[in-house]
Structure 1
Amino acid sequence: MILKGFKEKSNKKYLNKLLTEREVNTTKSEVQSLGIILNIDEFDDLESFRKLADLIKVRTNKLKIVAFSETNKENLNSWDDCFTPKDFGWKGVVKNVELQSFLNKDFDVLISYYLHDNIELKLMTAASKAKFKVGILVSDERLNDLIIKTDIKEFDVFKNEIFKYLTILNKI
């Protein structure tokens, strides 16, 4: 129990380091690839994200969805890539090779779709090499370039807003 607290503190320290070193990318390139970080304990509709990718004209082979759950991974057979807190070590070290390859991929847009203030989800967002980050989490504004403040169950509102802002920013 004490070690868990120390581990969380070291991960928070690493998260703050990532966020202070982050450089905002200001290129006006169009969206070709899309990465999504999702907390499936809050929202588990995969098909909604596929429709969103179709709306912003991202091909399915350029779409990658990663799910995170606080529960055990064996119960989540319907997801290809699902991760738990056990996939993270001390100082933000990612123990899972698939998750590390997702974080190293240079997505044009990364969507962080979660409201739960979780250190592992924040680490995934901050460690991602994505050029433009969009999210709905308001508690730490340094994580995302664009924050769309909606309820997690109002996906249609989120979809319309992200389409509108990506169009304004000449990314679509």
Structure 2
Amino acid sequence: MEILKKIKHSIARYYLKNKLTKNTRERRLISLKDAKDIGILYLLTNNQDYMAISKFVKLLQDQNKRVKALGFVKQKHLTNRFLPKLSFDFFSKKDLNWYGKPSNVFIKDFIEKDFDIIIDMSLQDNYPLQYISGVSKARLKVGRFGENNSYIYDVMIQNKKNTRLDKYINEVHHYLSILKPKNNV
């Protein structure tokens, strides 16, 4: 069983790297202050994480940002608790193919959206969220630091082991707020 997981993982990584070589997008370092459209990806594991993401989305919306959050629920089916809301969509394991590639209407719309910044808030490697981040046309892609993540994200932020999501969100917000990109003339 472990060998099958490794094979799936290798195929998934190969597929994503191959897809990213064909991904044309306008890369740009954008400060949080200058961003207008922000996409947030996250792994929904408990109500505390959902509340932390909701609070962050509201903070950004209060700064006149258009925010779309897409949460991955590691269950086969979504419960009524995870029905789409105005700024929130969800997907589950039933929306993944055999090696973990995500696919449904919400995911397609999220990938095609012209985000200034996309932020992957997952605290550990999660292929479906990494895939969505990777193939997105977002100008700036932000995610967790990891040796195997440099081909996906433009900016990576280190998180300490056993960091709670709310603490990581504060770190991401802090670093994106102090970014000072040089003006392109």
Shorter-chain TM-score: what band? 0.7 to 0.9
1:3-44: CA deviation from partner (whole Å, max 9, x where unpaired): 776654432221111233445613769411111111112732
Higher mean Cα deviation, 123-132 or 24-33?
A: 24-33
Report the CA distance between 1:170 and its aligned residue: 6.3
Where do residues 41-120 of structure 1 align in structure 2 (5 Å cutoff)?
41=45, 43-44=49-50, 45-54=52-61, 57-58=64-65, 62-75=66-79, 77-80=81-84, 81-89=89-97, 94-120=102-128
What's the counterpart of residue 25 of structure 1?
A: 27
SS of residue paired to 1:77: helix
Answering whether residue 166 of structure 2 is matched by residue 164 of structure 1, we say: no
1:142 aligns to 2:151 (yes or no): yes
Aligned to 2:11: 10
Q: Which TM-score applies when normalising by structure 1?
A: 0.77
Q: Is the deviation greater in 18-27 or in 150-159? A: 18-27
Aligned residues: 166
The alignment yields a C-alpha RMSD, in angstroms, of 3.0
Structure 2 residue matching 1:72: 3-state secondary structure = coil
CA deviations on 1:85-125 (whole Å, 9 max, x unpaired) are 32122577643112111111111110110122122121111
Contact between 1:104 and 1:129, CA under 8 Å: does it hold in 2?
Answer: yes
CA displacement 1:56-100 (0-9 Å, x = unmatched): 541xxx211000121233336245121123212257764311211
- Secondary structure class of the residue paired with 1:73: coil
Q: Where in structure 1 are there 5+ consecutive unaligned residues?
A: none
Which of 125, 130, 133 does residue 133 from structure 2 map onto? 125
SS in 2 for 1:74: coil
Instruction: Tell me how far apart the structure 1 counterparts of residues 100 and 18 of structure 2 sit (CA, whole Å).
Output: 10
Q: 1:170 to 1:92 in 2, by over 3 A?
A: farther
Q: Which residue of the other structure, out of 34, 38, 45, is the alignment partner of 1:34? A: 38
1:36 and 1:108 mapped to 2: Cα distance?
Answer: 11
Deviates further, 98-107 or 43-52: 43-52
Mark the CA change 1:28 to 1:98 in structure 2 (over 3 Å): closer, same or farther. Answer: closer
Letter in 2 for 1:31: A
C-alpha distance in structure 1 between counterparts of 2:105 and 2:120, whole Å: 20
Asked if 2 retains the 8 angstrom alpha-carbon contact of 1:13 and 1:91, the reply is no
CA distance in 2, matches of 1:156, 1:6: 36
Supply the AA of the counterpart residue of 1:48.
K
